[in-house]
Amino acid sequence: MFKLTFLGAGSTVFAKSLVGDLILTPELENYEVALYDIDENRLNESYTMLCNINANCNGKATITKHLDLKEALRGAKYIVNAIQVGGYEPCTVIDFEIPKKYGLRQTIGDTLGIGGIFRALRTIYVLEDMAKVIKEVCPNALFINYTNPMAMVTGYLEKYLKIKTVGLCHSVQDCAKGLLETFKMNEYIDNCTWKIAGINHQAWLLEIKDKEGNDLYPIIKARNLESKGSYNKDWDLVRLDMMKRFGYYVTESSEHNAEYTPWYIKDKYPHLIDEFKIPLDEYPRRCVEQIKRWNELKKELVENKNITHTKTHEYASYIIKAIETNSTYRIHGNIMNTGRFIENLPEEACVEVPCLVDFNGITPCYVGKLPEVCAAINRTNINVQILTMEAGHLRSKD
């Protein structure tokens, strides 16, 4: 029926989510999932796990594994990209430790700033080599990118490598739900509508309404002004502060957004770190914990022959289902703004907007203008993204 190639399939937990979702999609059958990774041991672990899930869930996929990129990609209709170039050591450690010597602190470092820029530069050069192979053996494939920094990687693939690409992130799906839970408005979670647009990790909840079309923002904003003890705000203080000041809630987490603006991590105002509960060096800390937990997870995922799967809210399987069955599905995707889907952001920007998926592929939707305050904040990030992509393309430090 079709072939999907998974690049970076050694990401076992993520491979379970995406391929497991495909296996649990009954409308899809007789397709191949080709797993590719440069780490043979991790590749074998993911292969074993997914074969077990396929068997235990009555899946109709053929799972193959490859160390040869060309063979993995040959004839692919869909490509899922989840590579991380350089891994935790040495690259993530370097991304954090060198800036720290000069007083520059980060939380996640995968999207913007020093960590995001260098992660982008080392990733796009690997993707350049991959793009050559794609153009040779599967030139019409849809490239589904999950690798961060999302805007820079997706933008580079589209603008400079001319690969048909959509970038996906799960922060949009969780945005409204998390906000409603914070302010004890759970009764609206399953029957509200919302509109989100902007850029990856900094898209804006422009509207949130109940099933009758009533605006929920006034209730949310009023509760946001109440004392901290009234609601569990501590996990999300940066985003809630931004909403209080600018009027709109932003998609990605507070630890992310603390480093996308110049207001919260400041060497002359160290009290802000405690005040907003900003977890400096959070990403390296998570990496260390994940490495420690892998032996336990390995028993659960790889050595468990009875493993099954519960479908997630990741978009990939729904996109493929919509295209293969000519049904319609709505996602939020990262695409170049060449159609001026967001009027007051640059054409050179990679934006995150609603998209419709059907047999014809992915069609971005027109958003119009963002509130100017939102667009202004987005532009500060976009400037870095555009310059990083250009620097990578030109091989120029200037």
Paired sense of beta strands 31-36 and 61-66, if any = parallel
Residue range 308-329, pLDDT digits in tens: 999 999 999 999 999 999 999 9
Distance between CA atoms of residues 333 and 336, nearest Å: 10
* Distant-in-sequence, close-in-space partners of 226: CB < 8 Å, separation ≥ 6: none
Question: What pLDDT band is residue 223 in, cutting at 50, 70 and 90?
Answer: very high
Question: What pLDDT band is residue 272 in, cutting at 50, 70 and 90?
Answer: very high
Q: Provide the pLDDT for residue 227.
A: 72
Average pLDDT, the chain: 97
Which residue carries 């933008």 as its tokens?
Answer: 155
Domain boundaries, the chain: 3-169+295-301
The yes-or-no answer on residue 393 being catalytic is no
Q: Which of 66, 170, 256, 309 is catalytic?
A: 170
Distance between CA atoms of residues 158 and 95, nearest Å: 26
Residue range 40-85, pLDDT digits in tens: 999 999 999 999 999 999 999 999 999 999 999 999 999 999 999 9
Which residue carries 């590749």 as its tokens?
Answer: 43
Distance between CA atoms of residues 300 and 290, nearest Å: 14
Q: Provide the pLDDT for residue 319.
A: 99
- CB burial of 148-157 (b: ≥16 within 10 Å; e: otherwise) equals bbbbbbbbbb
Q: Is the pTM higher than 0.85? A: yes
Distance between CA atoms of residues 18 and 324, nearest Å: 17
Question: What pLDDT band is residue 230 in, cutting at 50, 70 and 90?
Answer: confident
List phi, psi (to 5°) of 284. -60, -35
Please state, in angstroms and as integers, the Cα–Cα distance from residue 100 to each residue in 97, 103, 104, 114, 270, following that order: 5, 5, 5, 11, 14
Please state, in angstroms and as integers, the Cα–Cα distance from residue 160 to each residue in 117, 352, 356, 393, 398, following that order: 17, 19, 25, 7, 19
Distance between CA atoms of residues 196 and 354, nearest Å: 7
Please state the CATH superfamily assignment of the domain spanning residues 3-169+295-301 in this structure. NAD(P)-binding Rossmann-like Domain (3.40.50.720)
